[in-house]
A and B are shown apart, each in its own frame.
Chain A
């Protein structure tokens, strides 16, 4: 675990060098230590572009992976995750309503950046509640995943209608957001997001025992003295907060929340969450830093949408997992 933590720090540091402008090693060190740089444009780029980008990538990777872990354990479904179950789309609906409110309703809900975050958190909690209610009726197997995908396209339909009636500028703003990005945040917002994620992950550590017990299903968990109602509520609040706020800042980042917990569980010798949880958080941060680095397309003056990169990396991992799970089951 210390090695992974070290790797995360190193990658985060290296990531500060990525971008279209060359900034020397000594300048970066100097700047990080709080010294004034002679080259003010380098200082500006580091403070307002690269540092926020790196912090946002780490927060997003950690938060989404931990959310995915919570959902996979709770629903006892290895393919559950924020993007599959429609949680991200729910967050997207919140964001769309706010960004397009002015041209749609004539009232601008976009008071400041945080109305976006709040709408997004509410949107994801709403969808989580619907998924939870559905899981009581249809169990937590393949049917729940299908329901999640359907729910996603159901909400997607509303999103399409919203876009149809909105002016092109707002639509473009929204579309850019859906491609995913770690670069649109200010340093203050990036630190805020990091704090939110750390708080969310911190509370997850109090769920280690319930999560462990839930791997045997709710009946066994309750026979082991777990308070199911409290656990469920905490899981919804944490997942909603993490997915919602990350999605508001970075757009609906695909697949990280699904692939990372899997990857960790495949490598882990034990399914105990006191091992899986910290590893998931760390690997999540690392994975997102790597995805973000690829999206920066080092040495070229272009940027790719982060969402395209995460999908390209994660989809093969997920397919591999499905194949492996199949052999575990048989």
Chain B
């Protein structure tokens, strides 16, 4: 469908229904496989639909790797896992040319692709690698290609980086560079399961083995999902709301709420606005709507913005997290941008 039609015509329900059903089945399988994290699964799916990279943060053993592993199985995509360690070198990720002798006995340099040449790359404990190695991921994540020895090689499509990291307070970790953090569409926090969830896990998982997915999404279905995703309409007021949100993360802006001025040093980049729009579309698609609304933006804004806000020492002193700042921003900024007369309020009658 032409892009102009996508902007002026809403999808019919029957056009939308297959994609929604497909996504529902994926979500159901994820929820059945990994217990107790339905919202996390939903957001991971949002990231996949948005074709973005996801950074999972959580303590060891909470199921980050398992989640990504199951997701790779469900999507029927190639999957590689790299365990990041301090001595990991960039060539260990992107690959390197090696000297090989062919049948004729001639020796030549042959490029040996690294684990990055896959559809889904699980970068486990990415913050344990040195900044040099972390930087090796920059081009791959943004350009979806790798340049080695002056030769650029495209990565398979789709290409997702699903990284996990331990909280930076742990010893032996390196904070990710801001440039790399910004390339992650979402940063999701993987929490600890509750006692009930743990009981179910203990009851249904022997030796930690995960059940095999019953159905998978092949490349064709995934492409159709992406096509449907492209036809989700983003109304102009919602676009404006996203723009206002991103602009308001900068303390220098006059529209910035007080919490931003108090605790934020640097705000989000335009890439955050794009990520938020795409994520909002994905949430709308998951909800079975052809349009994205304000509540979709509010649903993804904490995950899109929380790793993009650089807080000052005052925030650390007051123990204010970026999620707290984003929540306060969502409360302070009117989504419609409507400038009502002073003292006039629009409220939903009870």
- The reply to whether chain A is a binding partner of chain B is no
Residues of chain A touching chain B, judged by Cβ–Cβ distance below 8 Å, are none
